[in-house]
């Protein structure tokens, strides 16, 4: 259904970083999922992630602090507090949600997806100018909302680009202009941020499908 790419259930490309729940893409539900069935990701993989994290951290030292990242984040926060724009970030958040529901919801097509991408590009250009009216830096709800909006825009862009690239209908992804399942798209789409705001999409064969094919191939020999 989408999320952070997970290997063997909870492992990621980052050593020591494990994922579980609905943020993880572990493939157990395939291309669709019934409402309420997300309990599996939280209960089963939550326990697995906890055990792996405990095992990984045992006897290890903390990694050196990446001060460049800290300085970059501090500059971002300072900019949010110092900016003087009058843009309403709450209205932008609501409009993003409505736009995604209409154009990237249950039914999709190229026209709607391109419209969504154009709007996301517009929001991305406006987000750097957003600022907090209240200047308190501790437990600032406005700051949290602005940072969440930035993240929502990035996730929305990855979702829209993936939906455009998958020119077929499969599971919960239904395109009116490509309403049939295409065997050539029997793969997962991986989205990577190469650098700030630059995304790269690639197809990757489903590990579950690969395992099943290997099993059947061995049985047929």
Q: Note the pLDDT of residue 37.
A: 74
Q: Note the pLDDT of residue 178.
A: 96
Q: Note the pLDDT of residue 196.
A: 72
Question: In this structure, are 18 and 117 located in the same domain?
Answer: no
Question: In this structure, are 70 and 178 located in the same domain?
Answer: yes
Count how many domains the chain has.
2
Structure tokens given for 51? 């055990």
CB of 40 closer than 8 Å to CB of 220: no
Q: Note the pLDDT of residue 194.
A: 77
Kindly give the confidence (pLDDT) of every residue in the chain, 221 residues in length, as a single tens digit, with 9 standing for 90 and above: 788 888 888 999 898 999 998 888 877 777 877 777 778 788 888 999 999 999 999 988 888 999 999 999 999 999 999 877 778 888 999 999 999 999 999 899 999 999 999 999 999 999 888 888 888 888 899 999 999 999 999 999 999 999 999 999 998 899 999 999 998 888 888 888 877 777 888 888 766 665 666 666 655 55
Structure tokens given for 85? 């724009």
Question: In this structure, are 40 and 114 located in the same domain?
Answer: no
Question: In this structure, are 84 and 160 located in the same domain?
Answer: yes
Question: In this structure, are 163 and 71 located in the same domain?
Answer: yes
- Domain annotation covers residue 94: yes
Question: In this structure, are 54 and 136 located in the same domain?
Answer: no
- Domain annotation covers residue 108: yes
Distance CA 95, CA 216 (A): 48
- Domain annotation covers residue 191: no
Question: In this structure, are 79 and 163 located in the same domain?
Answer: yes
CB of 73 closer than 8 Å to CB of 90: no
53's enclosing H/E stretch is helix 39-57
Last residue of a domain, one of 42, 63, 84: 63
Q: Note the pLDDT of residue 25.
A: 84
- Domain annotation covers residue 161: yes
Residues in the chain: 221
- Domain annotation covers residue 208: no
> 48 in helix, strand or coil?
helix
- Domain annotation covers residue 218: no
0.75 surpassed by pTM: yes
Last residue of a domain, one of 63, 85, 112: 63
Structure tokens given for 174? 């239904």
Residue 12 is part of which domain span?
1-63
Q: Note the pLDDT of residue 7.
A: 83
């Amino acid at each position: 259904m989408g999320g952070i790419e997970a290997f063997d259930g909870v492992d990621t490309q980052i050593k020591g970083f494990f994922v579980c729940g609905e943020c993880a893409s572990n493939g157990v539900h395939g291309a669709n999922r019934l409402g309420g069935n997300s309990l599996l990701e939280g209960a089963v993989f939550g326990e697995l992630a906890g055990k792996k994290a405990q095992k990984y951290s045992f006897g290890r030292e903390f990694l050196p602090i990446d001060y460049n990242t800290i300085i970059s984040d501090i500059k971002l926060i300072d900019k949010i507090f110092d900016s003087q724009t009058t843009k309403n970030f709450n209205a932008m958040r609501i409009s993003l949600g409505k736009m995604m529901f209409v154009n990237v919801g249950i039914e999709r097509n190229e026209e709607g997806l391109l419209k969504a991408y154009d709007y996301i590009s517009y929001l991305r250009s406006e987000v750097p100018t957003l600022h907090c009216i209240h200047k308190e830096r501790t437990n600032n709800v406005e700051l949290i909302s602005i940072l969440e909006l930035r993240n929502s825009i990035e996730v929305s862009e990855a979702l829209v680009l993936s939906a455009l690239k998958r020119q077929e209908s499969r599971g919960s992804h239904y395109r009116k202009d490509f309403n049939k399942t295409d065997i050539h798209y029997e793969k997962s789409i991986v989205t990577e941020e190469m650098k700030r705001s630059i995304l790269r999409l690639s197809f990757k064969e489903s590990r579950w499908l690969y395992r099943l094919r290997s099993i059947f191939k061995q049985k047929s020999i």
